[in-house]
Chain A
Amino acid sequence: MRRLWPQRRLNRYTAAPLALISINLLLLITFFVWPAVTGLLYSFTSYTGIGTAPYVGLDNYQRLLQDDAFYAALVRTLVFTAGVVPLTLFLSLSTAVLLVTNYSKGKSVARVIFFLPWLISPIIAGVIWRWMFGENFGLVNYLITSLGGSEVPWQSNANLSMLVVIVAAAWGGTAFNMLLFVAALKNVPTAYYEAASLDGAGGWAKFRHITLPAIAPTTFIVVLLSVLGSMKEYALIQAINGGGPGTANNLVVQYIYTKGFQRAQIGYASAASFVLMLILMVIALIQLALNRRKDS
């Protein structure tokens, strides 16, 4: 009995959890560890997807750092991110506050409408905004010309088409973040507001000094997720204008996709992927560090 008991314990508490994690373990090794390792190895080769993978050392990375198209895509991605993240943050917090406050009426309908874009895929969202901002057929230009203005080149001007993409991305990204904010806002203890009211604090003062600090952890997550999400944007811009006009608004993932799959430069695309991953990690670490410093 004394010998059997530990044996049985060991079986139960090693075999059972091992069996339970086995699916995820297998998938993790096959679809994360394996591609991550081979990707890193391929980034030092000029592999094209077939045949041998000749070792070229740091050549891919050197070429990448000298490639103007890569820099252009990187800068465009940063511009896109810098536009989308603040706008998404503002819109998702505003909608969340309006859905939580006691002052607004008709919340049940508003909630469904605010949430609608989450159900719409980036491709379809892109089509919707392309339809609205078509240069010579869109609703927006029709309204502008009806009011006496001239047609705005939403598609053929690089900055304006970027603007459309930014607005569309914020429109599509609001719902999920709004959900996070609603949960956070509901968790702020009402006693804080009551105490502040007794002290004579106004609505704005309460929002600024109670609500914002209380939801700071959620704000951090929203910013982090939005930044990482926008750095990887591809489908939405593809459907709105294909990164156009020309290649003016090609983002990093589109660059990787074009190199890797249309030109079969797997090695080179892998190098670009690792640079993107490095940038994402640096961004995440900077944000984590900033968040820590603010906490202490």
Chain B
Amino acid sequence: MAATANSTATSATGELPKKIWATALMWLLVAVYGVPVLWFLLSAFKPAGELFSYPLTIFPKHPTIKGFTQAWTSFDVAHYFVNTLIVAVSATALTIVASAACGYALAKYTNWWIKGFAICILATTMLPGEVILAPLFLVVRDLGLYNSLAAVVVPSVITATGTFMFRQFFLTVPNDLLEAARIDGASELQTLFRIMLPLSRPIMLTLAIFSFQWRWNDYIWPLVVLNEPSKYTLQIGVATIVGAENVNWSVLLGASVLSMIPLVALYLVFQKYVMSADIGAGLKD
């Protein structure tokens, strides 16, 4: 089997079977990854009565968007959508500012306390939100943030992944550039905003997409700090439909598909920033 990367085989005889095998295997895996989503999408366009009527058909016999409209209006998905958008956009903007500034400091200054701080940031990956769920909740409550969208946003602004993405990038920017700016009389912050940040645009976009995905798909933390249904994010909203005594599948399918649209659209536009992402530093939120 053609399992070797970048292989430059010299013999022409072995080429064709290898190509067939590799292509067949790849498309088999494409089916494994694609079919669940495809079946889900097609089901979402079926009217409620058709969802469970045997024999099941691949394509809806009477395609309808009633599941979507019902989810959007009577199940408040529109409201959840807006809440999630507020959370994801504001958290992403703040994450980029905090990570870029901190990453720059970690890359370009060499004080002992900067180095210590870098280790502290790395250490946060050992303390994920799930592990300090209860005390973190108390902190947020004592700060008076309970049941507000800010409670979802603020604690998630600090991320080791984002900070180190920027740090790795700024390490590759020559120090000469920084020195030249200093000699020209630019202040440290001017140098960052005028010269360094514009250079780091690809990193900003990559982190923006990652951060948006983290916050859009977040579940347990919003669940803990949000109390009223009017504050719910999409994931909690969908989870409440799943958790109901009798699951309303028509609405559930509609709501789920709607909730996937923004990320899929974002990915299709910015694909290259995701696929070339230098996340080899090996951190994940």
Contact = CB atoms under 8 A, between A and B. Distances in A.
Interface of A: 12-14, 16-17, 19-21, 23-25, 27-28, 30-32, 34-36, 38-39, 42, 49, 91, 94-95, 97-107, 109-124, 126-132, 137, 139, 142, 146, 171, 174, 176, 179-180, 182-186, 188, 190, 193-194, 197, 203-204, 206-207, 210-211, 218, 221, 224-225, 228-229, 232, 234-235, 238-239, 242, 253, 256-257, 260-261, 266, 269-270, 273-274, 276-277, 280-281, 284
Given A112-B271, A232-B131, A238-B242, 6 more contacts: A24-B163, A38-B139, A119-B263, A120-B260, A218-B282, A256-B133
A207 to B, nearest CB: 4
21 contacts: A19-B101, A20-B102, A24-B158, A32-B127, A32-B132, A42-B135, A94-B25, A95-B26, A103-B2, A109-B30, A113-B34, A127-B253, A142-B56, A171-B32, A179-B279, A185-B5, A203-B2, A225-B284, A253-B133, A269-B134, A270-B135
Contact of A234 (B2, B29, B37, B130): B130
Given A13-B109, A23-B101, A113-B34, A260 B4 contact: no
* Max count, chain A CB within 10 A of own CB: residue among B7, B15, B284: B7
B4 A128 contact: no
Given A128-B36, A132-B36, A114 B127 contact: no
Given A127-B256, A253-B220, A260 B134 contact: yes
Interface string B148-179: 00000011011000010000000000000000
Nearest to B218: A121
Contact of A95 (B29, B55, B139): B29
Interface of B: 1-10, 15, 18-19, 21-23, 25-27, 29-30, 32-34, 36-37, 39-40, 43, 51-52, 54-56, 94, 97-99, 101-102, 104-106, 109, 111, 114, 117, 120-121, 124, 126-128, 130-139, 143, 154-155, 157-158, 163, 187-189, 192, 213, 216-217, 219-220, 224, 235, 238-239, 242-243, 249, 252-253, 256, 259-260, 263-264, 267-268, 271, 274-275, 277-280, 282, 284
